[in-house]
């Protein structure tokens, strides 16, 4: 029987961070068990047949205002300086997203000032007595035209349901920007790892006290391991053998295309709220700064599938997740950590912060 003081299930960013801390700070042996054939979870990247570095599970870019998180991750990578900008394809033209003064002026061929933007938006709002749904939120804050151009059809594609069927918490507010800042994130620290996220993750795991098992479902081996603490980052419902039934996730069909040109679109990420069945196109070279005479893009088509990407934002699934969390609280010597194990959406810096907090509690 194998003996480890700590076992981590899942080699995504949450599991990797905890394993790295245990090895470097506690100098304890830790076993990481991963079901996929690679480390890194959904931030995993690799070179495709054309030699272009692509992100296999959709685009990721690092951003945070937390200097402790930034300093921590800087131990394991140098940075390609990059500030994320997103364009939304509306009425045959690209306009900046999130909605800013620049967006409104381009969309309606205006030259409004910041004060005039307030009046413009105010004049378009729909009076709704009681805000119940996501549709109500957007109509009451931005009006019908903005609702239909940016939110209605995008939401139907993203979740498979009309915004009128989604709780108001799904779109709590529209983040209007009254200035001309067209960056998607305004965090102080932004960029992507030189050499890619997988290389960064490998650097984090490069420690003699860390052992890794790939292509392994932890349930197949856990009975043959003697351990004191299990840090579980897999799906919480799977851990409990779906005793209350399966949680609902929104999945994505990924369509990769390589084109014989240097540039495919104006920015790394474009959003498609009205046209076509995909919601987003990513051009990876613009994320990484790679030079190549060809380019690879990714079109994302949300769907109902087995691969869990987005927690489903309705009361029914939140309630079921809470039942599983209550079961998790009763588990001795098991910590449930991360997006899958907590049924919560996390950005990368949030995942690292949560993992560091869990480690400090150990």
Give the residue numbers marked as catalytic. Answer: 173, 177, 250, 280, 300, 345, 347
Q: Which helix (H) or strand (E) holds 107?
A: helix 101-108
The candidate with the shortest Cα–Cα distance to 305, out of 268, 267, 250, 230, is: 250
DSSP 247: P
Q: How many residues in total does the chain contain?
A: 362
**DSSP codes, 124-178:** HPPP-SS--BHHHHHHHHH-HHHIIIIIIHHHHHHHSS-GGGSBTTTT-----BS
Closest CA to 272 of 108, 102, 157: 157
Assigned token pair, 122: 């105010």
Give the integer Cα–Cα distance in Å for 328 and 237: 10
Q: Which two tokens stand for residue 165?
A: 């069927």
Query: How many helices and strands in the chain, by DSSP H and E?
Result: 14, 19
Helix (H, G, I), strand (E, B) or coil at 70: helix
Q: Are 238 and 343 in contact (CB under 8 A)?
A: no
């Amino acid at each position: 029987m194998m003996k480890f003081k700590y076992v981590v299930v899942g080699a995504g960013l949450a599991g990797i961070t905890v394993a790295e801390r245990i090895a470097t700070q506690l100098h304890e042996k830790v076993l990481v068990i991963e079901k996929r054939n690679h480390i890194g979870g959904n931030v995993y990247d690799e070179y495709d047949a054309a030699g272009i570095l692509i992100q296999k599970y959709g685009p990721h870019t690092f951003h945070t205002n937390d200097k402790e998180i930034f300093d921590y991750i800087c131990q394991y990578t140098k940075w390609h300086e990059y500030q994320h900008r997103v364009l939304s394809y509306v009425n045959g033209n690209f306009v900046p997203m999130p909605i800013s003064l620049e967006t409104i002026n381009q969309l309606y061929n205006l030259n409004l000032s910041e004060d005039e933007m307030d009046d413009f938006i105010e004049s378009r709002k729909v009076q709704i007595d009681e805000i119940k749904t996501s549709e109500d939120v957007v109509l009451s804050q931005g009006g019908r035209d903005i609702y239909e151009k940016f939110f209605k059809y995008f939401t139907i594609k993203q979740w498979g349901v009309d915004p009128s069927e989604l709780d108001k918490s799904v779109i709590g507010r529209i983040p209007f920007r009254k200035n001309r800042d067209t960056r998607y994130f305004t965090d102080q620290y932004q960029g992507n790892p030189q050499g890619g996220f997988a290389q960064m993750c490998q650097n984090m795991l490069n420690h003699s006290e860390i052992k890794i098992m790939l292509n392994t479902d932890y349930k197949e081996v856990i009975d043959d391991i003697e351990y004191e603490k299990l840090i579980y980052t897999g799906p919480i419902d799977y851990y409990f053998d779906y005793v209350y039934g399966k949680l609902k996730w929104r999945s994505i069909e990924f369509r990769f295309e390589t084109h014989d040109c240097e540039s495919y679109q104006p920015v790394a990420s474009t959003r498609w709220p009205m046209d076509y069945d995909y919601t987003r196109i990513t051009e990876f070279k613009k994320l990484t700064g790679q030079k190549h005479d060809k380019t690879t893009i990714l079109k994302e088509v949300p769907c109902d599938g087995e691969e869990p990407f987005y927690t489903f934002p309705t009361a029914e699934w939140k309630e079921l997740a809470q039942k599983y969390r209550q079961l998790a609280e009763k588990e001795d010597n098991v910590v449930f950590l991360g997006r899958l194990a907590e049924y919560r959406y996390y950005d990368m810096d949030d995942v690292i912060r949560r993992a560091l907090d869990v480690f400090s509690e150990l």
